[in-house]
Structure 1
């Protein structure tokens, strides 16, 4: 029997990148998977690629919409939140409006889900943070602060929501569609340079994070944890 046989899994941000990889891994473990995202077209594309999933339009910035969705749902066994659009840059160059938008998307979006999500006892809620919480960057100060806040939220919620388990995954640099706006050669050069600097010898792929997500869903003794999957980025 597979690890998540017939378990109800919701992946918010499941239409691309890390979220889509988590959805694929959960399907492979026998789960009943729902992917959620803001864009109907991207959800349709992801559903076609993944196969046997349900797709739901959800926006984590819409508190009323989130509440209405969970009111009509049975409790999920596991929920992962990876949806976020976060402008970044040095504090002196990143405008306050963009900074607030980043915080609204990644931190307050996760907070909004945690307030209303229906999760079965012994189930789990997992956030995706990032290694900048531990290794700050002069060019991404806000990102580090948001990630650290998200990890603190997970630890506090692990106490408040028990026996639901709450954890965070902290990725390093991951090759996802987020980087598709870069020129191909520049992106490849950046990945090669960063990969060469890491003990793991490469940058990450979404499947690396999906492995950690399945671990947290299926390990009943894991709560209040931050699982770092960064290729050694914090220690390099």
Structure 2
């Protein structure tokens, strides 16, 4: 039996999906880690990008700083965090490393989206007497939403792929299937784990694409 056939046999075995350490449990852990990190990344990056994009100042510096962080491998950040007092607090080293990894695409896309709003529309809104906060909330942010959602989609897919690193420090997620396969010298299990991560990432990509294409008007960049 070749490796691909053996990996398929592993994936189609009910014994590997249920119970402690089964695929469903690892998938739930992976989803939880992805959602938490994405939420924290959005809470950090999007307000900064929206405000800087509205003001038109400081955005280039913020983007360059965040992109410089991408030059440092996430695994290296994770190892450094393990050597600090944070390393003893469960999933927090992984969460912090993943959040730092997800911030750049969120910040960049949101800022570019804000700066790409038609200046004529902005001037018209100001001429109608809108305040700065009203302009941001009612005009600029809705028009920038397609690019903002693109950044969220990119960050989400990257997080699904990179969250496998949690397994290297004893965390949960689909990465545990891969590391267990390495420990057992079980190549089909390694391949099966990699396929699960790839399929999960593709599903996340498909969900965001569907929201942007078929979702409510606000998710497609409408102002109302």
TM-score (norm 1): 0.27
Larger Cα Rg: Structure 1 or Structure 2? 2
Q: Which has the higher strand share?
A: 1
